Structure 1
Amino acid sequence: MFVPNVEKNPPFNITRASHVRYRVKDLDRSLVFYTEVLGFVLSDREGGVAYLRGIEEACHHSVVLIQSDEGGRVAECIGMRVASEDDLHRAREHITATGGSAEFIERPHQGPTLLTTMAPGTPPIELCSSMPVLPRLLNNFPAQKGGRVLRLDHYQCVVPDLPTAVNRFLGLGFRPSKYTTDVDSGQVLSIFLTRKNNPHDIVLAQAAGPRLHHVAFVVSDLQAIIRAADIAANLGWGRDVEHGPGRHGPPNGIFIYFRDPDGNRIEFILPPMQFMDPEDMPNTWNSTDSVSLVPWGSGPPQRWREEMTHFAGIEPGGGPLARWTSLTNKTG
């Protein structure tokens, strides 16, 4: 039986999922999709780099799009915020001492930033402690477009060695809100980990990796989901509405998945439930509980099961890609 051992006094303080950096083949085309369909706000565009945020977000960006010949389901990294600059120095010391890598880098529109790999086979993660603040557009209704995306919520990644990755994140203070296990062996198949007050900042599953399955953003209501899908259809991306609308049983969330012009998968979800008190224990399901996990609707298409975004310069390893197929009705 899996018994999570969460570090209550982590070596440094990660506060939430923060931002993702994608390489894209056609920045102009990508910007139409992200602003007109999904409803992101353009914070800045500097040459071949664009910075976007949701209408509820005050910090400068949650999505960075980088013009590159290497575009086409390629991400540079995912990002996490830490509470202070001191946490970055503690993070560097801890990560390097425990077999990972960490180096300070310069990023426009971010304070001091530490590029890390927590352990071999885990996704590259940028840690930053601050960003410039811009006006929220939550109440600026004339400026809102598309699905009126509110804010970034979580990432879902696959990793080749799930037990090692899970132990590393639990040691950094992440709490599991739910996980699935194999009905025969009890092996953990996927796990939802959180640092903020809802069920997920990062979701991990076992498969050849590291790879990024999707990035999820919160929208206000079901109408925002339908509006984004309708606009996608009008602008020629109707067949890139990949899966949904549907419901993930836990945490009772409505979802839809889009594919951007480079094939990166974006999930829209309604505001998820709170998961914040220490006595709130994780939910556990086994590999036969698909009806509870996805209570209605058909399963995802095959490409949803198999196609993912690669991290730049990292070749996935650690087992067959087909391993993901057994997990696809178990995660969100």
Structure 2
Amino acid sequence: MAIPEVVRKPPFNITRASHVYLTVRDLDASRRFYTEILGLVVSAQEGGTLYLRGIEEACHHSLVLRQDDAPPACDAVGMRVTDAEELALAEDHFARAGITARRVERPYENGTLRVTFDDRSPPVELCAGMPLLPRLLNDYPAQKGGRALRLDHYQCVVPDVDATAAHFMALGFRPSKFTTSVETGQIVSIFLHRKNNPHDIVLAQGGGPRLHHFCYIVSDLAALLRACDVAASFGLGRNVEHGIGRHGPPNGVFAYLRDPDGHRIELGLPPMQYMDAEERANTWDSNQGQALIPWGALPPQRWREEASSFAGVDAGEAPAARWLPQV
């Protein structure tokens, strides 16, 4: 199936990936992992809920952790819209399109709309704004671990990349890169973005919908190494699951870590910029392992097979991912 045409004038304005909601079993252990190893800072803690942000982020939170005795899961991935007026336009658009969207109350968010495209796509929450807090980018004594700067993107595993990508592209998301199966020609992964780098959400084929990982940007290789070293000093060295390595597209250096509940986080160096409307998506095929990861080991099998469930969503069977050559 061909990639849909880019919608140049979307029905409302999504600006970027902005925040993710996770459930965890032990909030204290998770707080230690995200603050001491990744270097996120605490914006607020209310009972069993913890709000965190990167040191470059001024908006209240980019990660919300909620303690729960149920198996760890992702509640939703969040996207920002420009303002409350755009959120109202989004609500009207989904009502006309017959897509389920309802207002939900989220602390520290100035209007939130929860969108369910279908049972094979990730649940998305659109947020119109948050309170502002001081950036800690220049507060060097307060910085820890990998000094994570900002949330960059999500990767979700979905059973039908074409169908889910069409939902996002109808809202103005542009493709920067896609991978096709060498056997069938089918699209097995696609990078979609609203901000000016290659990805806000990546969709990859497999059993789902599930959250494969979310990514924070770090400043440099020293910060990436420090996060891994601090993980090891806390007895979590084996939680560094994959990397350090380099992605061919979009040329980013990365490491993947697992938090105490198994949620996967990518730490990456600042990615290339992808800005102009006339730029075309790069095409790769699933046999180009050397191009997809030019150096460093290919990912372990669990990286292909394991991902976080979305709360209340039946992901069905979870076969190995098919967007990279098998190991």
Distance 1:17 1:113 in 2: 14
Match of 1:328 in 2: 324
Match of 2:202 in 1: 203
Describe the SS at the equivalent of 1:35: helix
Counterpart code for 1:34: Y
- The 5-angstrom pairing of residues 255-270 of structure 1 reads 255-270=254-269
Distance of aligned partners of 1:161 and 1:96 in 2 relative to their CA distance in 1, 3 Å threshold:
farther
Task: Kindly indicate whether the alpha-carbon contact (under 8 Å) linking 1:29 and 1:261 is maintained by their aligned counterparts in 2.
Answer: yes
Match of 2:59 in 1: 59
Distance 1:301 1:289 in 2: 17
Task: Kindly indicate whether the alpha-carbon contact (under 8 Å) linking 1:293 and 1:329 is maintained by their aligned counterparts in 2.
Answer: no
The answer to whether structure 1 residue 84 and structure 2 residue 80 are counterparts is no
Describe the SS at the equivalent of 1:322: coil
The answer to whether structure 1 residue 212 and structure 2 residue 217 are counterparts is no
Shift of 1:158: 1.1
Percent identity (aligned): 59
- The 5-angstrom pairing of residues 89-128 of structure 1 reads 89-128=88-127
Shift of 1:266: 0.3
Describe the SS at the equivalent of 1:214: strand
What do the CA deviations read for 1:103-128 (whole angstroms, capped 9, x no partner)?
10111111011011123311111101
The answer to whether structure 1 residue 23 and structure 2 residue 20 are counterparts is no
Distance 1:293 1:161 in 2: 21
The answer to whether structure 1 residue 226 and structure 2 residue 245 are counterparts is no
Shift of 1:91: 1.3
- The 5-angstrom pairing of residues 1-332 of structure 1 reads 2-72=2-72, 74-317=73-316, 320-324=317-321, 326-328=322-324
Distance 2:314 2:3 in 1: 31
Unpaired segments ≥5 residues, structure 1:
none
Task: Kindly indicate whether the alpha-carbon contact (under 8 Å) linking 2:287 and 2:324 is maintained by their aligned counterparts in 1.
Answer: no
Tell me which moved more, 242-251 or 293-302: 293-302
Describe the SS at the equivalent of 1:77: strand
Shift of 1:328: 3.4
Count of residue pairs brought into register by the alignment: 326
Distance 2:42 2:190 in 1: 33
What do the CA deviations read for 1:47-78 (whole angstroms, capped 9, x no partner)?
11110000000000000010110143x11111
Shift of 1:183: 2.0
Distance 1:323 1:307 in 2: 8
Counterpart code for 1:189: V
Shift of 1:214: 0.1
Distance 2:113 2:129 in 1: 12
Task: Kindly indicate whether the alpha-carbon contact (under 8 Å) linking 1:88 and 1:129 is maintained by their aligned counterparts in 2.
Answer: yes
Counterpart code for 1:129: A
Distance 2:288 2:54 in 1: 34
Distance 1:91 1:273 in 2: 30
Counterpart code for 2:119: P
Task: Kindly indicate whether the alpha-carbon contact (under 8 Å) linking 1:206 and 1:323 is maintained by their aligned counterparts in 2.
Answer: no
Tell me which moved more, 97-106 or 31-40: 97-106
Counterpart code for 1:154: H
What do the CA deviations read for 1:111-162 (whole angstroms, capped 9, x no partner)?
0110111233111111011000000000000000000000000000011222
Distance 2:115 2:76 in 1: 9
Root-mean-square deviation over aligned CA pairs: 1.3
Shift of 1:3: 4.3
Distance of aligned partners of 1:329 and 1:254 in 2 relative to their CA distance in 1, 3 Å threshold:
farther
Counterpart code for 1:55: I
Moved over 4 A (4+): none
Shift of 1:327: 1.5
TM-score, with normalisation over the residues of structure 1? 0.95
Distance 1:18 1:212 in 2: 15
Counterpart code for 1:63: L
Distance 1:192 1:225 in 2: 23
